[in-house]
Amino acid sequence: MPSAPLTCRALLFDMDGTLVDSTVAVETIWTRAAEAHGLDPAEVIAYSHGRQTADTVDHFLPDLSGDGRRRITGELRQQEEQWPGRIDEIPGAADLMRQVLAAGMPAALVTSATRDLARARMAAAGVPLPGVLVTAEDVDHGKPAPDGYLLAAHRLGVDPADCLGFEDAPNGIAAARAAGTQLLVVGRDIPDLTTVRVGGDGHGTVNV
């Protein structure tokens, strides 16, 4: 855990595992898909964390036609968006986002989910959306490529080195590092978001 306040000009948040807990949905949907295609569910789930759905489908089903892979990707995205179970916030996520918005601090969501799925999961978990969303539709290369973080920093008008990223999964961590952002890893550097506070001056001091 960092021992001193961190200074940055913008905050960049991953979603799944960082702001919302979608573990049951992710593991259930990918287990069913893996079993339907004779794949090892544990291997598929491990690979999928932090990645775009299309990238995981392409990796494990390379012998299918492009249309076939797009069809499966569409079906999986629909299942994710229509998930009937609970989606919970990571402890402290909603309060932290309200602090960020109240302070007027530039912030973005950088997720491998589609825009519709991101909106649905954030709403289900009760976590407010930041002003900028970078989703699967916005980048040609998903995590672990840095494209999403670089685009978010650009849209916020902030150098990536002056941004603080919040991540949890190896693919997202690699993406944030490759983009050159500062980084806090949920589950490693901090257990959750309950101890994170944005400085009262609203000028980029983050206490953890």
Provide the annotated active-site residues: 14, 16
CB atoms < 10 A from the CB of 142, how many?
Answer: 23
Q: Which residues contact 92 (CB under 8 A, 6 or more apart)?
A: 192, 193, 194, 195, 196
Query: What is d(CA 193, CA 191) in angstroms, rounded to the nearest whole number?
Result: 7
Contact 7, 204 (CB under 8 A): yes
Omega prior to 144 cis, within 30 of 0: yes
Helix axes 23-36, 66-81, angle to 10 degrees: 150
Q: How far is CA 158 from the centre of its chain?
A: 19
* Whole-number Å distance between alpha carbons of 117 and 70: 17
Strand partners, 183: 165
